[in-house]
Amino acid sequence: MLHNILAEFLGTGLMIVFGVGVHCDEVLKNSKYRGSGHLFAITTWGFGISVVLMIFGGVCLNPAMALAQAILGMIPWSSFIPYAIAEMAGAFVGALICYVMYADQFRASADEVDPIAVRNIFSTNPPMRDLPRNYFVEAFATSVFLTAILCIAKNYEAWLPIGVGLLVWAVGMGFGGTTGFAMNQARDLGPRLAYQILPIRNKADNDWQYGLLVPGTAPFVGAVIAALFCRFYLGM
């Protein structure tokens, strides 16, 4: 159990180092790859998650995935909360590591880069605020995402790291334009909390109302849908 919890902590932290790190690279002044665009960022997210799965195996990296697996009996219910806490903590620490790596660029960007863009390095926020629609997108995207991961794990286990990386790339490109595709409470709320406490100048409002409501709860709805679909339609 302790080994699994540590894997969730380390794996989620490394995922965030790749993901938040690429957003730092794309947004901040004096970063080598500034302005590379969303294709660059989404591809790095996908490849980064593949690397994490190559290192740590079939970790959840996501409280919503942990919930889906608990519903399906793949992990005991007693593991759900410890896994979720470890994932949130790992994401928080991963975001702190990114700040340390890019501290000079954050300072150089304080008076030039839009504070909203800096905030969005850490967390997901919709370019158009429509909470019911945003909630639907996150729940739907999560249900597709988790269902596909579970199918890849069942039918193509040897290809899991590459398959999930390609899946992240496809979901990000297909569904990401409306909300930024969190699909994962740890991915959003852990770095959002890091942004709250880090000494970044000219901070934007952290928008906890959106964060706690949409990326905070919609992935759980998607997890339930995915688990029920896998159980009653796919027979898992």
Q: What mean pLDDT is reported for the chain?
A: 95
Instruction: Write the pLDDT tens digit of every residue in 128-178.
Output: 999 999 999 999 999 999 999 999 999 999 999 999 999 999 999 999 899
Distance in angstroms (rounded) separating the CA atoms of residues 93 and 87: 10
pLDDT at 1 over 90: no
Distance in angstroms (rounded) separating the CA atoms of residues 166 and 187: 18
Return phi, psi of residue 30, to 5°: 70, 15
**Statement: the pTM of the whole predicted model exceeds 0.75:** yes
Instruction: Write the pLDDT tens digit of every residue in 45-82.
Output: 999 999 999 999 989 999 999 999 999 999 999 999 99
DSSP assignments along 70-135, one per residue: HHTTSS-GGGHHHHHHHHHHHHHHHHHHHHHHTHHHHHHHTTTS-HHHHHHHHS---SS--HHHHH
